[in-house]
Amino acid sequence: MRLLVTGGAGFIGFALVRHLVERGAGRVAVVDKLTYAANPAALAWFQRRPDVAFHQADIADPAAMAALFAAEAPDAVLHLAAESHVDRSIENPLAFLQTNVMGTAVLLDAALTHWRGLPAAARERFRFLDVSTDEVYGTLAPEEPAFHEATPFRPNSPYAASKAAADHMARAWARTYGLPVMVSHSSNNYGPWQFPEKLIPLMIQKALEGQPLPVYGDGRQVRDWLYVEDHAAALAAILERGTPGETYNVGGGNEVENLHLVGRLCAHLDRCQPRGDGRPHASAVTHVTDRPGHDRRYAIDDRRLRGEIGFVPPTDFETGLARTVEWYLANQDWLAGLKRERYGGERLGLARRA
């Protein structure tokens, strides 16, 4: 197949491209704007692969997207390009609307034009997978059942609202024009190569630097955690076996309070790289003012994915967390390089908390 992956230089996008290429899925064209969160290691990896073509472009640019579809003639699109950090969306919401809403609309329109021009058999095989987040569903009380595919959207941050709008665009292009669109909603991802403003790599980095470990509010916010390589495998399975017009939730089955998660990270670090002063890493946990509109709990019901697609995430949380800690400890040069390039070598601020 000829596949087009948007946002392929980002955390989840890079994991997906690696998964597709290493399993011989076909030629993969990657488009990425190369914002601050792009991974330089991903670009180097793309250059070494003859079955990967990289394009630097903005998905919100209609001319660029028209040219991209004409050049690559994809059989399927996996759309992951997005501004994704909640704190940044609070600081600059319009940037999220531009990329996540307008960018998705432009991409859908370019895909529609391309799809309409395909021969009948290729048109039947074509797929567009819109990769979204559980944050579109809003927040859950402790006793409420997990989000399912029919849960109403109730986004509470500019980021979540922009992704909800993008999902509505995807549905509209499917229902109005017949474009074979599928949508996925995943829980929080973690694993190697994640940009260090997100919770797990940020806590690891701050612990290694001997800084306070900032936890929002009381730290009792609950998230479901999904190993990024499992997410990539799930997306490939949805692309292969999913039904156009359907939505699939992708969860890890690991509901954990933020404070408890930080404690587990600290325990791993105590074993792998103890503090020089002999104190446990958890002694550096510091509670800071909560994020505005902070959702209390996310949980994913992924029975449709398991039943209809036959996909069950293979990585248990303790194994995935241990792998992740070990990877960041072994790749501190990568983290240091990102800090120099993105933050001028300064320590990551509290405002860059996941």
Residues classed as catalytic:
134-135, 159
Cβ atoms of 157 and 133 within 8 Å: the answer is: no
Give the DSSP letter of residue 283: G
Angle between the N-to-C axes of helices 332-343 and 199-208, in degrees from 0 to 180, rounded to the nearest 10 = 100
Alpha helices in the chain (DSSP H): 11-22, 40-47, 62-72, 86-91, 93-96, 103-116, 120-125, 158-177, 199-208, 228-241, 258-272, 303-304, 317-330, 332-343
Strand, coil or helix: 73: coil
Q: Hey, which residues does 30 pair with through a beta bridge?
A: 5, 54
3-class secondary-structure state, position 32: strand
Encoding tokens for residue 285? 């946990």
DSSP collapsed to 3 states, 77-143: EEECCCCCCHHHHHHCHHHHHHHHHHHHHHHHHHHHHHHHCCCHHHHHHCEEEEEEEHHHHCCCCCC
CB–CB of 127/239 below 8 Å?
yes
